[in-house]
Structure 1
Amino acid sequence: MEYQYLLLDIAENVATVTINRPEKRNALAPDVLEEIITLFTSLGEREDVGVIVLTGGERYFSAGFDLNEIRKLEKVSNEAYTALFHRAYRAILFCPQPVIAAVGGPAIAGGFDLTMMCDIRYASSSARFGQREVVLSLTPLFDPLWRIIGLGRAKEVALTGRIYDAVEAERMGYVSRVYPEGELLASVRAIAVEMAGYDRMCLRESKRLSNQLLNTDLDAAMRTQEWLFRTYIGSDENHQRIDALQARLAAARTK
């Protein structure tokens, strides 16, 4: 399928999805959201994709909502547009494969929300983050933000509408690592390729488990993790990877 606002590259079991609307700083118009839903749904069904990278390139991520589109809405006719945003969010959040956000520039409001739906976030030193909905008299998403950075910090981000640089985003635990400007995409790709070399189903089950355990009491969580671990330990794939690791370690010791 051809996409107008998304670029797709698949190589080495990694799908890189690039939001491509630079003249609008990758603002999220309805057509962009529709394409995100369609593409992530399609990628979720592909066996040749182990990891997905979502980015806007080295310069932008997404400036957020297309304000010209929102300005056309009325309260009595906003249901379809609101549902479209949340369908796009869910398409990323519940995509079976791990999704990595590579944030090269501003990720604001709806753009920030897209990064929130990803499993891991890496940023360029030029990245900026801000949940600006409250500034526009819109209610922000607290969940899953509070699960990522804690409730107190999530309240600050959501209620002040402040914009944070990449260093502060890393300090609060929202971003896992910050890369020098221009080095983000290559660095994140290397991580994604390594991850994509792992057991595909193990990656998917681990992602699903991480979401499932959030609403489970500790005893049930421990039992679930024990059961899932038991389905993989001792498998042929497990044995093959142990043998390969031990061979690499033995070869390294002889150098």
Structure 2
Amino acid sequence: MPASRMEYRYLLLDVADKVATVTINRPDKGNALAPDVLEEAASMFSALGRREDVHAIVFTGGEKYFSAGFDLNEIRKLEKASNEAYTALFHRAYRAVLFCPQPVICAVGGPAIAGGFDLTMMCDIRYASTRAKFGQREIVLALTPIMDPLWRIVGLGRAKEVALTGRIYNAQEAERMGYVSQVFPEGELLASVEKIARAMAASDRTALVETKRLSNQLLNHDLDGAMRVQEWLFRSFIGSEENHQRIDALQAQLAAARRK
């Protein structure tokens, strides 16, 4: 089933075991984000969100890059009085990833800088290889950066440091600040993340989608309201046929393990 009707030049798509792997494929430019790349990202993630056979998505640039960020040659052509369409395109791509219904796992194999860093920020979970680097470089280019959802991931104080210094962080630093969940040896990232994604995708799709939605909504509630939302959502799933089937399967696995 194709991701959408448009032809993709800069994004590769593979779907297997309920996992869609989206790979930015512009290696001659360090996977820089030209307008066509952003158009494709917005289209593909919107289409994947409608696919019932996709439970989880891996977003990557491969083992060597994620994305070097804005295509500076394209940015340099812009004028302040006529930048609206380009700015809207960036944010349409960002929102397509951020609000994609299924969990989006980012596998960062190399530099994720400026707009490339912003794309990793839109994902739900980030994993990196030891060669990965992260930097929100907008301030260096006299641009304002995206602070939200960055502050939700690493906290406001650290987000201010990332945004205001524009410095480059290595994978270990990104892991220590909580931006990256785990760092894998160079060359082992994609296989490791695919294994994680397949395990996640084995879960019920609706439960995955609603859990992601819940995580995005909770900051808008006070503690009492959050607890009520979570109670209601849990009640919507417990006792369902899918819940019963999975309990039966788990109990059968446990019984078989005890007999060994």
Q: TM-score, normalised by structure 2?
A: 0.97
Determine if the alignment matches structure 1 residue 219 to structure 2 residue 227. Answer: no
2:150 matched residue in structure 1: 145
Q: What corresponds to 1:180 in structure 2?
A: 185
Displacement, 1:61?
Answer: 0.1
Query: How far apart, CA to CA, are the structure 1 residues paired with 2:62 and 2:131?
Result: 12
Paired letter, 1:56: G
The 1-side partners of 2:122 and 2:170 are apart by: 19
Same amino acid, percent of matched pairs: 80
Structure 1 segments, 4+ long, off by >2 Å, are none
Shift of 1:254: 2.3
Q: CA deviation at 1:185?
A: 0.4
Q: Residues 64-103 of structure 1 correspond to what in structure 2 (within 5 A)?
A: 64-103=69-108
Secondary structure of the corresponding residue to residue 121 of structure 1: strand
Give the deviation of 1:243 after TM superposition: 1.3
TM-score, length of structure 1 as denominator length? 0.99
In the alignment, structure 2 segments of 5+ residues that lack a partner are none
Secondary structure of 2:54's match? coil
**Cα shift at 1:50:** 0.5
Q: What is the Cα deviation at residue 218 of structure 1?
A: 1.1
- Tell me, what secondary structure is at the counterpart of 1:107? strand
1:253 Cα deviation after fit: 2.2
- Show CA shifts across 1:102-160 (max 9, x none): 00000000000000000000000110000000011000111000000000000001100
What secondary structure sits across from 1:138 in the alignment? Answer: coil
Structure 2 residue matching 1:88: 3-state secondary structure? helix
Q: Which residue of 1 aligns with 2:112?
A: 107
How many angstroms apart in 1 are the aligned matches of 2:253 and 2:188? 29
Any stretches of 5+ residues in structure 1 without a counterpart?
none
3-state DSSP class of the match of 2:148? coil
- Tell me the matched-pair count: 255
Query: 200, 208, 212: which is aligned to 2:213?
Result: 208
TM-superposed deviation, 1:216: 1.2
How big is the shift at 1:246?
Answer: 1.5
Q: Which residue of 1 aligns with 2:197?
A: 192
- Structure 1 residue 254 and structure 2 residue 259: aligned? yes
